[in-house]
Structure 1
Amino acid sequence: MFESRDLAFEAAKAAYSEYFRLSDVIAAEGGANPQRIAETVTPSFLTTSLEGFDELSQAGIRTTGQTNVRSVNLQDVQENNGLAVVTIYVCVDVSDIRVVDARGTDVTAANRNDRVSLVAQMVSREAGSTALVVSENEPWSGTSFC
């Protein structure tokens, strides 16, 4: 499996970056063809992701801009039966992201927090693999670390 915690951390950062890159593309297209996110997430997290993109589509809104990951800190690495679970703390900056309607009017919530503290978990794509996919991505419930 991973030869070190540092290698697990690097793999988690790469998986998370790809997840956000693809999420931004799908959101910019108003939630069209959201199944593309499947390559970056677990089947259980896919359901949650698809629901979010469906909300965009149903509302007739899309995004512009790009999510920026400001900081990533390793929380934990576990390996069991050939599967890795890597948990990270992430500070995400969404100040560049705008929500627009079908006419192109900015409808971004005025009271939106531009920096969000998240806890994310990545797991091995398959047993013995160092390729990771996102299994959880939740707001941090404690004091913001952004």
Structure 2
Amino acid sequence: MNPRRSALITTAVVAAVIALAGCTPGPAPTPTPTPLFASEAEAFKAAEQVYRDYVDAANAQQNGAVDVDPQKYLAGTALADDVRSVRDFEKSGLKITGTSMIKYFRAQSFEPKSDGVESLACLDVSQSRVVNSAGVDVTPNNRQSLVGLSVRMAPDRSGLKIVSLIPNELSCQ
């Protein structure tokens, strides 16, 4: 093969390799997450609905419904705390009966980047009782009828979940 032809073939091969190298797929682009909510108002409305659904499910369970699971509205610390609380009540032979009513739910802040929502809730527990295994009311006499909570929610695959419920006395004032 003559040197000129060899040089042309080598140049063509190198050019083809360079061209193909530019066409090889690199790492896939990282998709930009789609926000769960279009607005702060939408996030606050969704958070309130999740909290109301959670309280309704807890009330139904406290009153004997077996086809509801309030824990499906919880995640993180809130779920771990609830599992521990249920276990402790069962060990002690105690249960809660009656209903709790939401006096109010006030959205406080929304973080668009994480879709997290912070809220304050005031729960009226005056119509609920703590009873022992014999059915005797053992509700503490000094129990407050209103319970204030700081409620934090974060998104998961199915929407918002309550990730923390922290007592907050100022929530009911």
Q: Identify whether the pair has TM-score above 0.5, normalized to the shorter chain.
A: yes
The residue number in structure 2 matching 1:134 is 162
Partner of 1:108: 139
Higher helix share: 2
User: What one-letter code is carried by the residue in structure 2 that aligns with 1:92?
Assistant: L
Amino acid at match of 2:163: S
Identity %: 25
Alignment TM-score, normalising by the size of structure 1: 0.82
Higher RCO (CA < 8 A, seq sep 6+): 1
Letter in 1 for 2:137: D
Which structure dedicates a bigger proportion of its chain to strand?
Answer: 1
**1:66 matched to which residue of 2?**
99
TM-score of the two chains, using structure 2 as the length reference: 0.70
Question: Deviation at 1:19?
Answer: 1.8
Residue in 1 that maps onto 2:172: 145
- Alpha-carbon RMSD across the aligned residues, in angstroms, is 2.3
Task: Give the greater-gyration-radius structure (CA).
Answer: 2
SS in 1 for 2:50: helix
Residues 55-89 of structure 1 show CA distances to partners (whole Å, capped at 9, x for unaligned) of 11011111111111101111000122xx4100111
SS at match of 2:82: helix
Q: C-alpha offsets along residues 3-62 of structure 1, whole Å, 9 cap, x if unaligned?
A: 222211111011112222233344456xx9x9x444211144321110011111011111
CA distance in 2, matches of 1:145, 1:98: 20
Tell me, which stretches of 5 or more residues in structure 2 are unaligned? 1-35
8 Å CA contact retained: 1:26, 1:53: no
